[in-house]
Structure 1
Amino acid sequence: MTAVDLGMPMTRVPIYTQPRERFVFLYPTTACSLRCKTCYVGNTRLNAANTMTVERAVEIMDYFKITGGHDKLYLLGGEPTMHPHLPEIVREARDRGYQVTISSNGDFDDHVFDRIGPDVLSSFNFSLESADPAIHRRIRRNPHNFAQVTDRIAEARNRGYQVRVMCTVSTTNAASALDLIPFLAELGAHTLSFHNLGKTGNGARFLQPLSPAAWMDFCAALEAYPPAPRLAVYYPPTFVPAGDQQRWADRGYPGCPARTLDRPHVYPDGTVYACPVFMDGARHYARFADDRLILNASPDNELNAYMTADSVCTGCPNTGTCGGGCPAYAQLPAYAEEGFYACDRQITPLCILWTVSAWGARPADSLHALR
């Protein structure tokens, strides 16, 4: 992979003392109008269509605000706009000091914009898999969604929202994924985030992620792509040659955020995951009930995975800049069998969710804070 210019190095801060980003990923409903092949939540949860009350959502927001100092809220699903009281949840979150993002497939009408204005919502985050309608439809399995979501992106921009777009990259759309950069710049989106497909939920059943070598090539191609004015683009490095680790530490890589419980994912049934990697099973670390977290008593809960040190890390000179890699994927058979996320001290797996801005470090603005 060709080395890329990552901008001037920042003041070096050791892993786990980097500034922490405290997000709450709240799933007010798992109901959804689509059954996308990329969905890490999976069809079982989508078909159950569980929904939490506004009161329960408020309890969860209060709990993590008090105990963890969380200040950013992602509302996901399913499709969160299908929750009948989503505007109330957004207002309650803003009253508590949260910056709020709605992550949507774009399959909704103008009444959502009418009921939740840009004065209370920090950003809309739309999912779009390609600038090619045929590729997007192949992944979304819906003939109408491409036109719907691109219309919603344009309408949200016209109404004054901060507009974010996410693309999940797999072998199905990787070859044309970078075409989204000029396409979304023309639509007026503010940010585009690429993510490498994870083998969780529907993604494990229907699509294939890029190999470590292919993902590094994709990242290099992205960095070499002509920047688009006024469009911030993000991606997760995920696989890093040992000699490049310090560059990402200088850019603020915080190690595994699940180990510090910075990004809880909370479902309507109360299950709480530290990371979406283990969502296919019952390895959640806790359940939210009676205004508190009740820890999962099973020895197979995900915390035991995060607190396990891989033997290859012992004595490694690079742990100060990689933070032990990704402790979750290394324990999943679907990845272990194919050699994904296995560290050989030459290529290190970083957190699959941690993203950086393409074309050099961005200033700490609102676009960067909610990436």
Structure 2
Amino acid sequence: MNALGLGMPTVRRPLYTQATERFVFLYPTTACQLRCHHCYVGTSRLNEANTMSVAQAVAVMDYFKVTAGHDKLYLLGGEPTLHPQLGEIVAAARQRGYQVTISSNGEFADDVFDAVPPGVLNSFNFSLESADPVVHRKIRGNPRNWATVVAHIEEAVRRGYQVRVMCTVSHANAEHAVDLIPFLAERGVHTLSFHNLGKTGNGARFLEPLKPEEWMRWCADLEAMTPERRLAVYYPPTFVPAEQQAQWFERGYPGCPARTLDRPHVYPDGSVYACPVFMDGHPFATFRDGRLVLNTDPDNELNSYLHADPICTGCAHTGTCGGGCPAYSQIPAYDGWYSCDRSTTPLCILWTVSAWGPRPADALHALR
């Protein structure tokens, strides 16, 4: 019973005061050897192959450390291992107190391991789309990548890295993605994170996301599996029945992290986004001369994710969903695909939870 004597859960703290982990997503290069069908960065950026200097990377780290207390650094791309001074960037980040993850497609020479040994890297994250090489190839295109990334996963485990794997789920691999659970557990991988394909970059052109009802069934099937205790498995609820929102709130759902600018994404050209879902649009700021310069164009990302969907007005569920993901009412690619009806409601497409119940706090990726 709540304070009014009604049989409904009591909200003990407001949304957006949940604990957060403050990540900087840094793209040291947009060069990449692959053109994956699910890549949210998009082929045009990859073709430009822009690369930032070590000095620029350090300036970004210093800025967000001082202004917002960020202490987690994700190195992405493109393919970050193509940056010729990746070891220097990692070393500079560790000197500044960042925990560092490299997120890789697995296409690199073994000397990358020597440049960033386990002692200086907190986590090595690999992308793998299925335990079946045929399914993986449908998404990656490259016929050799599956064997290459699996070999590098096994080598990273052997060398003592904390190894994580990310899998983006779409209609192309939904039936086979969970096969990764026993496959990776047997190889000593630490964490598997599933992600829900968004309609950004190449994902809007080549692959089909699961509809909300399909995604909810996929998540329910995952939760119904026999737990694999050797492997931490995370997934994003993304769409939930409205009456179940409170349980995710109690599991730590923090609301839209773009609206609180918790996780800036910084590109070599200085573009700064608050959320990768909006990367087909205009950035909210540019990093220039050691500071953020806000984009004054009204058609920018900031105005998109600070938009409130009219259906949220007067809704009883805003205390646990916080308006959900603004993409579905703001990005044209989602027109006709999903619209909140207060029955099935959206959470952040990127926020993940541990399958089979909470696990001990994970200092690097509890929310991602």
Query: Which bracket does the TM-score occupy, shorter chain normalised?
Result: over 0.9
Amino acid at match of 2:289: D
Superposed, which structure 2 residues align to 1:1-371 within 5 Å?
12-281=12-281, 283-338=282-337, 341-366=338-363, 368-369=365-366, 371=368
* Letter aligned with residue 348 of structure 1: T
- Deviation, 1:333, is 1.3
Give how far 1:329 is off.
3.0
The Cα shift of 1:365 comes to: 3.1
AA aligned opposite 1:85: Q
Counterpart Cα distance in 2 of 1:156 and 1:132? 20
TM-superposed deviation, 1:229:
2.4
The offset of 1:38, in angstroms, is 0.8
Residue deviations 1:211-239, cap 9 Å, x none?
Answer: 00000000001001111122000000000
Which amino acid counterpart does residue 323 of structure 1 have in structure 2?
G
Structure 2 Cα separation of the partners of residues 247 and 206 of structure 1: 34
SS for the counterpart of 1:174 is coil
How far has the Cα of 1:367 moved from its partner?
Answer: 5.9
CA distance in structure 2 between the partners assigned to 1:58 and 1:179 by the alignment: 39
User: What is the TM-score of this pair, normalised by structure 2?
Assistant: 0.95
Distance in 2, matches of 1:132 and 1:365, equals 29
Cα distance in 2 for residues equivalent to 1:365 and 1:350: 21
Q: CA deviation at 1:337?
A: 2.5
Stretches (4+) displaced over 6 A: none
Q: Which amino acid aligns with 1:332?
A: I
* Contact 2:20–2:367 (8 Å) recurs in 1: no
| 1:4 equivalent in structure 2 | none
Corresponding pairs, count: 360
Distance 1:131 1:12 in 2: 42
Rounded to whole Å, the distance in 1 between the matches of 2:363 and 2:231 is: 13
Q: Distance in 2 between matches of 1:337 and 1:224?
A: 30
Q: Distance in 1 between matches of 2:331 and 2:78?
A: 24
CA shift for structure 1 position 320: 0.4
**Closer, same or farther: CA 288–96 of 1 in aligned 2, 3 Å:** same
Deviates more, 1:303-312 or 1:344-353: 303-312
- Once the two structures are aligned, what percentage of the paired residues are identical? 73
Report the alpha carbon displacement of residue 177 of structure 1 after superposing the two structures with TM: 1.0
8 A Cα contact 1:13 1:250, kept in partner: no
User: Which amino acid letter does the alignment assign opposite residue 351 of structure 1?
Assistant: C
Contact 1:285 1:303 in 2 (8 A): yes
Q: Is the 8 A contact 2:72 2:364 kept in 1?
A: no
Question: 8 Å contact 1:277–1:329 — kept in the other structure?
Answer: no
SS at match of 2:182: helix
SS of match in other structure, 1:316: coil
1:369 Cα deviation after fit: 3.6
Structure-1 separation of matches of 2:184 and 2:178: 10
State the 1:14 CA deviation.
2.2
Equivalent-residue separation in structure 1 for 2:13 and 2:109 (angstroms): 46
Q: Contact 1:181/1:228 (CA < 8 Å) preserved in 2?
A: yes
How big is the shift at 1:309? 1.2
Map of 2:5 onto structure 1: none
**Amino acid in the other structure paired with 1:70:** H
Q: 2:3 maps to what in 1?
A: none
**Aligned residues of 1:191 and 1:367 also touching (Cα < 8 A):** no
Q: Which moved more, 1:342-351 or 1:85-94?
A: 342-351
TM-superposed CA distance for 1:187, in Å, is: 1.4
Write out per-residue CA displacement over residues 279-311 of structure 1, whole angstroms, 9 at most, x where no aligned residue: 113x21000001110000110111111221111
Letter aligned with residue 285 of structure 2:
A
1:291 and 1:225 map into 2 onto residues whose CA distance is 48
Q: Give 1:370 deviation, angstroms.
A: 7.1
Aligned to 2:6: none
SS in 1 for 2:249: helix
Matched position secondary structure for 2:186: helix
CA RMSD of superposed structures (Å): 1.4
AA paired with 2:37?
Answer: K
Counterpart of 1:3 in structure 2 is none
Shift of 1:110: 1.3
Please report how far the alpha carbon of residue 366 of structure 1 lies from its aligned counterpart in structure 2 after TM superposition. 3.4
Distance 1:118 1:171 in 2: 35
